[in-house]
Amino acid sequence: TDECLHLHRHTNNMRSLQPFLYLVIFWTVGAEASDPNLPFMEYLDQNRLVCLKWGFDSLQGDITFKLVVNTTGWVGFGLSPNGGMQGADIVMGGLGPSGSYFQDYHATGNSMPLVDEQQNYTLLSVIESEGQTIMTFKRAIQSCDEQDFHITAQAAKVIYAYGTTDDIKYHASRRGTKEVNLLNYVPKSTIIGPNYFMARVDNISVPQNHTYYHCKVMKLPTLIKKHHIYLVEPEIEHPDIVHHMLLYSCPSFVTEPYDNPCFIGDIGDACFQTVASWAVGGGVFALPENVGLPIGGEESDIFYRLEIHYNNPNGVKGRTDSSGLKLYYTDQLRQYDGATLTTGVLQFTNMEYIIPPKATNFHTYGVCNTSLLNPLPDLHVFAVMLHTHLAGRKVRVGHYRDGVQIDFLALDENYNFEYQEIITLGSTKTIKSGDEILVECTYSTSTRTKTTRMGLGTTDEMCLAFLLYYPAIKISSCISHPNTLHPSLSTSNHNFSFDTNGIIRDMKTTPTVICQNTNRSSRLCTTWIMSAAGILLFLIAIM
């Protein structure tokens, strides 16, 4: 039985989310049992019309993909540096009147991909069944072809497209992108229950402003005993203007609800303990089986603030919106309470920090020194969401112990503003007391003629890394403020600790590899090679 096929048939007749979620998780568990060679599965689109299954034998071996698409025309799958066509490694195939067809391509731009000189993907099978095309193929994880995308332990931007006939031509709207951690994927295997609550705005008026932040402070349903949130689903009414959403818990002195524009002096502006987040390009997020976000019990009386950033570059007026987050919870407590730690650079009003125009590689750094809180339990980071605005090109999160970098907590060398997902790390990374976290953001303002400031607008900039971890502590952020010139640590009660002696340490170069095939480019690797790199301190204004 093919799980993707069954899921599609069932969802055709569904009108509510709850039974759909039951089926999604049920069949994902079934996938592991019935097809051990392809244990992982993700839907690549919001409508569940494009399903990807995959598996691999070792990091030096082959990776096998099964693409299930709701069409009897051609189907395409690719791995892209930044989520678009440029530089993408693509296969396209299908089952036509004369039999199967399949080729390995590469894209040089937004045009018809070119056939690779060396065909490194192997078609295993392609069939059509009940209106769907099911194509299975494989390739080596470590390919030494300069026209192929190199698959690493970092998340990859997977692209897809398909047609309605076997004539391979422009796909129109039948395309998409999803960020997937192919080699460090954590299967979803939790049965979804019926209990959820909504954190949502109701028919709020979205002004013509290019950037608008709306905040709703509310109480969630009273739960006498402690429960755990284990799954967060966005409900977006207008995807073209909703840029990101954050749900914060509030300190005890916030005691009244309101529904207003953000940051106009309301007391709820102090709510900054992140509970859940979503950004453009993201989807449903399920927590690991041993972690839940605590709610209820002693926390039943607290308020929450839902913050929604609306990006309206065309100045459309007269629109209302009712977007929000749907949070599923259970009284079957997991082993650990989870939480989010905000790191990087956090802007405040009148922050004196700007990025100059015509800069191709401008670096900003935010420092988190955990020695500000002592003692600190070991914090196990299991997922990360990186966030900049339109000028962002790269985000790297370095992890230091005793002044020496020991790891990268996250890397995105091809950051794309349109694809901001929470990426699971596969295995946890442990932050110990005294460790330092350095968030590096690289911006390009080469097409801008005016300075870019740190701020809330989409054309302003941010530099943030949201670290999802356990066990939860009463710390909401560990960030740098360029206007105060030193890092700070904020508790959930809006108390601050400051460090006036922060150090921006050298960050290693991004892990690279050298291809062992001397007949091909040196783009690809079989071993990780790191070397220390100096930092141009005159480009930054934080320490």
Tens-binned pLDDT, residue by residue, of the chain (543 aa): 346 754 444 343 333 333 333 333 333 333 333 577 898 888 998 788 999 999 988 777 899 999 999 999 999 999 998 888 888 999 999 999 999 999 999 988 888 899 988 899 999 999 999 999 999 999 988 887 777 888 887 788 999 999 999 999 888 889 999 888 888 777 665 567 889 999 999 999 999 999 999 999 999 988 999 999 999 999 999 989 999 999 999 998 999 999 999 989 899 988 988 999 999 888 888 899 999 999 999 877 899 999 999 999 889 889 999 999 999 999 999 999 999 999 998 776 566 788 999 999 999 999 999 988 777 899 999 999 999 999 999 999 999 999 999 999 999 888 888 888 898 888 899 999 999 999 999 999 999 999 998 888 888 999 999 999 999 998 888 988 765 445 555 555 556 666 667 788 999 998 765 555 544 433 333 333 222 232 222 222 232
**Looking at residue 383, what is its pLDDT?**
93
44, amino acid identity: L
Bridge partners of 157, per DSSP, are 80, 179
CATH number of 196-337: 2.60.120.310
Q: Which residue has the tokens 């991909």?
A: 113
Q: Is 227 a catalytic residue?
A: no
189: Cβ contacts below 8 Å, ≥ 6 apart: 25, 28, 29, 32, 289
In the prediction, which pLDDT does 33 show? 35
Q: What is the pLDDT of residue 152?
A: 82
Fold observed for domain 340-479: Jelly Rolls (2.60.120)
Same CATH topology for 196-337 and 340-479: the answer is: yes
Q: Using N-to-C axis directions, what is the helix angle for 3-11 and 17-34, rounded to 10°? A: 170
Establish whether 387 is a catalytic residue: yes
pLDDT of residue 46: 78
Greatest Cα-to-Cα distance within the chain, rounded to the nearest angstrom: 72
Q: What is the reported pLDDT for 490?
A: 59
Strands 242-249 and 304-311: antiparallel
Model-level pTM? 0.78
| pLDDT on residue 333 | 95
pLDDT computed for residue 418 by the predictor: 83
**Where do the structural domains in the chain lie, given as residue ranges?**
40-180, 196-337, 340-479
**pLDDT for residue 5:** 54
Architecture per CATH, domain 40-180, reads as: Sandwich (2.60)
How many of the other CB atoms lie within 10 Å of CB of 536? 9
Catalytic residue among 105, 121, 162, 213, which? 213
The confidence score (pLDDT) of residue 24 equals 36
The candidate with the shortest Cα–Cα distance to 150, out of 530, 510, 533, 532, is 510
